Structure 1
Amino acid sequence: MKYLFGLLLLLFQVTTPTTYAQTAIPTASLQISGEGLKTLSLSEKDLMAMKSITVDVKGHDEKQHTYTGVLLTDILNMAGAGVGEPGKKNTITSYVLVTAADKYKVIYALAELDPLFTDKTIILAFQADGKPLDQKDGPFQVIVPGEKRHARWIRQIVSIKLIAIP
């Protein structure tokens, strides 16, 4: 019995660091790409230099929070997407794929971001209640005010890709 306990303890000590080493730790940069876009790598500092907005919403914890961030459309336009420009024919046949550090993925139709189609405000947040997002949520998180479920409030974002359906 002592031998078995010792073996289990040794196994735990050997596998624990490996488990942590394989866990994705979010980086402080965000990759923006897509067909017809210039590829960008944005840091938290880059995002903080852009025009920011705040939204007051109930968070995952059901408490009211103030998130500060940048419109997702502004980030896409920085890469050359032209969201909100009249006459863009691919708006209703394109989507935005957002990927988290743990490979969780969320899709947003480009039309639901475009101010010519909606008044919805979807932001890429870098602060909650005046403080940088914690490691669990940050450094970047999409906030979608008005959604009943927070399944598309993707956390620890590492990439945003614009994809057009042919």
Structure 2
Amino acid sequence: MTRTSRIDPPSRTTAVRAAAPEDAVRADARRLVIRGQLRRPLALTVADLRERWRQHRAAVVFDCAKNGPRHHTFHGPLLRDVIDTAEPTFDARRRKDRSRYLLTVTGGDGHHTVLSWAEIDPDFGDAPILLATAMDGRGLDGTGSQLVVPSDRCGARYISAISGIWVGTCAPPERP
């Protein structure tokens, strides 16, 4: 299986079908809380993610263990841009300080994954990881944002219905 992904340049407008009116009630329940070692914790809806940050497009193919290859096009802001707004408490001038930070992303079903800040930091991996606001042209307002990791071959880190993101450091391992 050949994995392909492409992140297109950012745009302010995307061709995304609006959520149906009945999704308005459910959309409010789909709030994503960003907390941890931050100066400005955030609580956001999919609409907030769409309106407050530049939208990027990612055309991806990833393997699903149960259903084989999946082809999707996602739109959404970069995870890094959203977390930057929450102002992590690290010293941004110090690379080693930034490299100690982790992000735990949790979905509505309890599935979660861990990313390192270094993966998304421009001085390290600079991965264009998205908090998707739309998938295949349909808004995710009713179901919640989805984590999109275009460089992943498998879809295990594509967390659906994101309910929370924790940002911070973990304790260093004890010395033997």
Quote the residue 1:146 is aligned against: 151
Looking at structure 1, the residues matched to 78 and 89 of structure 2 have their Cα atoms a distance apart, in angstroms, of 13
Q: How far apart are residue 71 of structure 1 and its match?
A: 0.5
Quote the residue 2:17 is aligned against: none
AA aligned to 1:124 is: L
Quote the residue 2:41 is aligned against: 39
1:112 matched to 2:119: yes
Aligned counterpart in structure 1 of residue 130 of structure 2, from 120, 123, 132: 123
Q: 1:36-91, CA deviations, whole angstroms, 9 ceiling, x for partnerless residues?
A: 332111112211111110100025462432100110101101101289x4424422
Provide structure 1 residue ranges, at least 5 long, that are not aligned to the other structure. 1-24
Quote the residue 1:28 is aligned against: 30
Runs of 4+ more than 6 Å apart: none
Quote the residue 1:58 is aligned against: 61
Identify the structure with the greater helix proportion: 1
The alignment's TM-score, normalised by the length of structure 2, stands at: 0.70
The 1:131–1:165 alpha-carbon spacing in structure 2 relative to 1, beyond 3 Å, is: same
Q: How far apart are residue 122 of structure 1 and its match?
A: 0.5
Number of residue pairs matched?
Answer: 140
Looking at structure 2, the residues matched to 48 and 122 of structure 1 have their Cα atoms a distance apart, in angstroms, of 15
Quote the residue 1:72 is aligned against: 79
Q: Does structure 2 retain, via aligned residues, the 8 Å contact 1:38–1:79?
A: yes
Q: Does structure 1 retain, via aligned residues, the 8 Å contact 2:32–2:165?
A: yes
RMSD of the TM alignment (CA)?
Answer: 2.4
Larger Rg: 1
Give the match's secondary structure for 1:93: coil
